Structure 1
Amino acid sequence: MKLDYLQALKRAAEARGAWILHGQEPLLEQNLLDVFRKSWQQQEIERQRYDISSVNDWKTVFNALNSLSLFSQQLAIEVHGNIKPDANGLKQLKSYLQHNESNLLLIILPKQDSSSLKSAFFQTVEANGVVVPLTAAYPQDRQRILTVEAEKLGIQLDRDAWAWLMQHHEHNLLAAKNSLMRVNDTFPDHSLIQIEQLYACLQDQSRYTTYDLSDALLEGNLAQSIKIFQYLVASGEPHSLILWTLSKEMRLLMQLFEQPQNALQLGIWKTKVAHYQQALRRLNPQQFLSWPTMLLHIDAAIKGMSKENPEHLIQQGIAELCGKTLFSH
């Protein structure tokens, strides 16, 4: 079964079997994970998390699903990564789906290409479980999602305010949600938000977003990229979201280098294709080889798993994307 984000929100608390969440919208992923984790806590379901770095890691996942601890009657396993099970893992997945009705295998993947969505792995889960694409491709989809966010805050926006918010943030749902929270904090006595309130509290404060960082990175403008990065950090933007921006641009550039004719299929906006092509002409493809390791180092530093300074590493990543080097080796 395939569900969209809003349908999945309503069903997450009762989820069993196998679910796949895939996409590149951090707000949608985080909201769904929050609902899942809250429901597991309320139902006293044991939660385990696994990060897949090789095909062999799937053995550990399926072993865990088949061996409940003495204190658990149900288990929810969260799997993060972008490596799918091999033929043997697929066999174990099918067995799990046929015989295990009380546990949940929740698989969180980045955005997938069309061939991946047609793979036996996806088809097996879609036929016997649930697949949720974390996308909001059209303005009406984004407004529906943000309307739910506004309702959580107890506010409504009039037509002009919606138009301004959507235009101001283009397709950045997370930034738009932050703006809704900010306008609610700034005008706590207003249940109906009009364009004047939005404009008054956002024109100065939302000076830069991660999308401005993306634009500066694609232009190769190191000084502007570092300036925006420092602004984002100073205004409380999580390091993990800045890393997500860096990772997304690196991944898209590497994919476009391999598939130069498939820009739109890779999820690059039509108006941005020329920017990505220009960035590729500026960069040396040999650099791409070091990018995955660099992103892992930044992620480890953010999570406190290394002694390195995440901000220094992020700035190195920014410099790499701009085709520059901050430090000599």
Structure 2
Amino acid sequence: MIPADAYLRNPLPLPPIVLVHGDEPWHQQQVRDALWRQAQERRLSERISIEVGADSDWDAIAQQTQSGSLFSAGQYFQLDLPKGTPGKDGAAFFRQWAQQPPADAVLAIFSGRLDGRQLKSAWVQAIEQAGLVIQAREVPPMQLPNWCIQQAQAHGLTLTPDAAALLAERVEGNLLAAAQALEILALRYGEGATIDVPEVRDNVVDEAHYQLFALGDALLFGEVGQALHTLQRLRQTGTDATLIVWLLAREIRLYYQLALGRSAQALKIWRTQQARYQAAAQRLDPARWAAALAQLGEIDQMNKGIRSGDPWIALDGIVNTICGETL
């Protein structure tokens, strides 16, 4: 097993099966992108995404991955395993692939963090023997300033130690937030610039702002676990529930209008996001989106003390609704 940052610095040859586990989203996404680039270099030009749930049919998944392609030289299967536990049938499928992988195909499995017991399981051991296991772990707080300095160098920036310490403090361990902040600094000051405390102080907002954007993304993708985790972090950081109500209202209104048949372009949704919003809008019918919006109004009244109830508990419920989960 190798850490994600080690793999990103020096990618190993792409094996027939890869497991990426961990709960650090920036590392997960960077490894996901790097593996796909390697697959394309191998001329595995057809990428097929599979999301596994509790009721997934592993026989159907096995048939799908073994059927080959009539339209490309090879296939790259990207399998998302949110809970990290494939069950008996899934474990057998992974062991079979590790022992006898199909020709011209690669299986990349992405899961949340696996504990010590899970890492010792037969299916993980089989993957490690036949392929690669990558751990997308968080950067320890003491190492985060140095990580920021290294990432700044990749953007052509020189980040002073004091600036790195301030940036690490503001993002509170969120690598995605740190990476986005460095992109902003690079765009604003240009390659070759030296970034000190004033530049970070003036351009990098605190963690709560990033968490709001992260919540919106999780809702868009229907990632209920990530959305609820982000909501909890916002509560812990003292974020006013009014901001969250505003964000949810904006998103629900967009989904409602799309469900009614309005075009994403007319709603001024970014072109790169239009397909994702259209897919999200199909989780509920227009009547249920309208009901969710009315429920959000009740939550706003709870937050203002006009109505009885805990707004944070109610926000958990509406997040489940937006993600298409039935309570």
- Band the TM-score falls in, shorter-chain normalisation: 0.5 to 0.7
How far apart are residue 307 of structure 1 and its match? 4.5
Describe the shift of the 1:72–1:39 C-alpha distance in structure 2 as closer, same or farther (beyond 3 A). same
Deviation at 1:70, TM superposition (A): 2.4
Q: Which residue of 1 aligns with 2:66?
A: 66
- Give the SS at the match of 2:19: strand
- The match for 2:312 is 322
Q: In the alignment, is the contact (CA less than 8 A) between 2:2 and 2:135 conserved in 1?
A: yes
Normalising to structure 1: TM-score of the pair?
A: 0.64
Task: Tell me the residue number matched to 2:196.
Answer: 194
How many residues align? The count is 260
Per-residue displacement from partner, 1:211-262 (whole Å, max 9, x unpaired)?
A: 895444348x7x812315647999xxxx9xxxxxxxxxxxxxxxxxxxxxxx
SS at match of 1:197: helix
Preserved contact between residue 300 and residue 306 of structure 1 (Cα < 8 Å): no
Match for residue 121 of structure 1?
A: 123
What is the one-letter code of the residue matched to 2:70? L
Residue 77 of structure 2 aligns with which residue? Answer: 77
Deviation at 1:105, TM superposition (A): 1.0
Measured in 2, the distance between the counterparts of 1:41 and 1:233 equals: 40
**Structure 1 vs Structure 2 CA RMSD:** 4.0
Q: Secondary structure at the match of 1:64?
A: helix
**Counterpart of 1:53?**
53
Measure, in 2, the Cα distance between the counterparts of 1:162 and 1:107.
33
Q: Aligned with 2:134: secondary structure?
A: strand
Distance 1:51 1:324, change over 3 A: closer
- Give the CA deviation at 1:49: 0.9
1:282-301 correspondence to structure 2 within 5 Å: none
Q: Which residue of 2 aligns with 1:227?
A: 243
Question: Which residues in structure 2 correspond to 1:1-329 (within 5 Å)?
Answer: 2-10=1-9, 14-45=13-44, 46-54=46-54, 56-81=56-81, 82=83, 84-100=85-101, 102-139=104-141, 141-143=143-145, 145-188=147-190, 191-202=193-204, 208-210=209-211, 214-218=232-236, 224-228=240-244, 230=246, 303-307=280-284, 312=293, 322-324=312-314
Which secondary structure state, in structure 1, belongs to the residue aligned with residue 240 of structure 2? helix
Counterpart Cα distance in 2 of 1:307 and 1:55: 20
Relative to structure 2, which stretch is displaced further, 48-57 or 225-234? 225-234
Residues in 1 aligned to 2:150 and 2:68: alpha-carbon distance in whole angstroms: 36
Change (3 A) 1:93 1:110: closer
Amino acid of the residue matched to residue 131 of structure 1? V
State the distance in 1 between where 2:24 and 2:63 align.
31
Give the superposition deviation at 1:313.
Answer: 10
The answer as to whether partners of 1:76 and 1:105 remain within 8 angstroms in 2 is: yes
CA distance in 2, matches of 1:123, 1:321: 45
Q: Could you tell me whether the CA contact under 8 Å between 1:13 and 1:39 is conserved in 2?
A: no
**Which amino acid is 1:193 matched to?**
I
Q: CA deviation at 1:132?
A: 1.5
5+ residue gaps, structure 1, are 240-298
Shift of 1:140: 5.0
Give the gaps of 5 or more residues in structure 2: 213-229, 256-275, 304-308, 319-326
Q: Distance in 1 between matches of 2:182 and 2:176?
A: 10
Q: Decide whether aligned partners of structure 1 residues 8 and 102 sit closer, same or farther in structure 2, where only a CA change above 3 A counts.
A: farther
Quick one: structure 1 residues 200 and 10, their matched pair in 2 at CA, closer, same or farther if it must change by over 3 Å?
closer
